[in-house]
Amino acid sequence: MPSRAASSTQSPPIPAGLTRAQLLEIYRYLRLTRTLEERLTALYRQSKVIGGLFRSLGQEGESVGSAYALARGPDPDILSPLIRNLGSMLVMGAEPIAILRQYMAKAEGPTRGRELNVHFNDLEKGYLGQISHLGDMVPVMAGIALSFKLRGEPRVGLVYVGDGATSTGTFHEGLNFAAVQKVPLVVIAEYNRWAYSTPPEKQFAVKDLVEKAKGYGIPAVTVDGNDVLAVYEATKLAVERARRGHGVQFVEVKTYRRKGHAEHDDQHYVPKDELDWWAKENDPVDRYVKQLGDRSGDRCLHRRAAAAGGICAGRCVRRPAGGTATLVPEPLMADVTYLEALRQGLWEEMERDPSVFILGEDVGAYGGAFKVTEGFAKKFGEARVIDTPISEAAIVGAAAGAAHMGMRPVAEMQFIDFISCAYDMLTNYVATARYRAGLATPIVVRGPCGGYVRGGPFHSQNPEAAFFHTPGLKIVYPATARDAKGLIKASIRDEDPVIYLEHKWLYRRIKHAEHDDQHYVPKDELDWWAKENDPVDRYVKQLVQHEWVEERELKAIDDRVKVEIDQATDACIDEPLPPGESALGGVYADPPAVPRHWYRSL
């Protein structure tokens, strides 16, 4: 059985500065959390809750106490809860009726039935819904906190993680990123004593979670998580330090998960006497009432909390901003290389829009591995051209968080091969944000790709096919200097995430007439290149006219376009870039995808 000494029932004095009204409000949130979950349990047993139900019984104190330390109202601090942090969302303004609709997957719910339980958000009230992948919200919240720092806003981010999540790589990458950037972020680490059915000794070798934070140079404290006021006081100090510019703060709350991982979990792996002790001797609500020494108001407050379930709900889905920019005139100027055109597009967008910033490995003083961002840090400052740790997941996660708050981040992958390290973040968090949460995520993830430069297997890849079938991602692959500039501008202005691929062999080998700073290319416009008598005997035994199509945004080619190629050339040949079958060309030319009526023209 875990040591009970870490959660003494002796409480510190009531923190100075809390009025009687605030103390009663804290109690209301504690009771409301428990009452609402009891109602959800009844609905779950009636099969009216869709999906799982995750109770916070015995842990309401740390959620309410920590969230109560944040700023609410206009321009609130932002928190990201876990599935058992319902109390923190109620503190920030989530309404019980919205939560009930969300759990029941109602069309009127915050996500209209697309997501479940507490996976929803309202940034105007101050909370960002999580995804199921443990640890992923740490770099995302680091990005939100980074946006506060870049804009000089006196706001703070707060992210909850469980003891199990601290074993994930994304947790460590996000924590290190946040520490290096000195962003105003508070991490509440819940020592639950059970990660599903795994006890701490099988999860990590350290005694306390604060030891993990201290390894990154982060100030960290441990507090009794079942003492509401102790959690409030520790979190308030951490929030104040973060708000004053002292960087990341880490608060470990020693608590106990008294229910199973979800309502279907019977907890057969937990000793019964252990559960009984925590319920009888260390319940956070009972301890709070005892600490206040004012039981006379208990019954009245209980009625008020139960009645709060009828509060009308507002819409919780943040509406994304409008569409993309439009085509503008394109006066011709001197010839420039592909790389210089790309640099110009980035530079001009940085000048045009102060919300645009660049982050990545060695993008600052060094100027990037291929010098795409050379001189940017000197011109725009290190606050907008950010050198990051080597962590693609943290780079993409931070970019997403900043984008949620209205920024326009451009994340560089030093070589696009390493985008695989951010695959989880891109496909499970970024790509799904608009669908599941109504969140615009206007980020650009760009980097050099392709071979012919003797880069070997890990610096020559074309990974576009890996993302091609991921709904929610746009893929751009310019083939000319003109498009390199126009499309980077279009991608930055887009309201959705864009993967921007740059074939490194083209960087200094092709040129095109330069355009002024208004040059902009719509991504869905197709280019036709007619090259007469181009030999393609690798595929056909005779010379034919080869009609080249450059598709700027990679997506399934419209049947109409394919038929036009077919009719113009009497053949439909696809030449994928290396590595052959795994590149996108193999997808375009997949025989099952060829309409039957084509064969009449072949």
Residues labelled catalytic: 459
Question: Do residues 334 and 513 make contact, with C-beta atoms less than 8 angstroms apart?
Answer: yes
The token pair at 427 is 């496909």
Sign for the CA dihedral angle at 236, 22, 31, 80 comes to negative
Which residue carries 């470990």 as its tokens? Answer: 252
The token pair at 197 is 């059915």
**CA-based nearest residue to 393, from 413, 407, 379, 369:** 413
Taking CA atoms, 296 is separated from 288, 289, 299, 368, in Å, by 14, 10, 7, 66
Question: Do residues 569 and 542 make contact, with C-beta atoms less than 8 angstroms apart?
Answer: no
Residues 477-511 as b or e (16 or more Cβ within 10 Å = b)? bbbbbbbbbbbbbbbbbbebbbbbbbbbbbbeebb
**CA-based nearest residue to 489, from 290, 294, 326, 284:** 326
**CA-based nearest residue to 175, from 219, 206, 221:** 219
CA dihedral 529, 535, 536, 541 (to 10 degrees): 140
Question: Do residues 488 and 446 make contact, with C-beta atoms less than 8 angstroms apart?
Answer: yes
Please state, in angstroms and rounded to a whole number, the distance separating the CA atoms of residues 100 and 524. 41
Taking CA atoms, 362 is separated from 85, 387, 457, 571, in Å, by 38, 5, 22, 46
Taking CA atoms, 549 is separated from 176, 331, 355, 364, 529, in Å, by 44, 24, 35, 36, 6
**CA-based nearest residue to 489, from 322, 346, 327:** 346
Residues 5-33 as b or e (16 or more Cβ within 10 Å = b)? ebbeeebeeebeebeeeebebbbbbbbbb
- Partners of 526 in the beta sheet? 551
A 10 A CB-CB count for 191 gives 23
Question: Do residues 159 and 70 make contact, with C-beta atoms less than 8 angstroms apart?
Answer: no
**Antiparallel, parallel or unpaired: β 157-162 and 78-80:** parallel
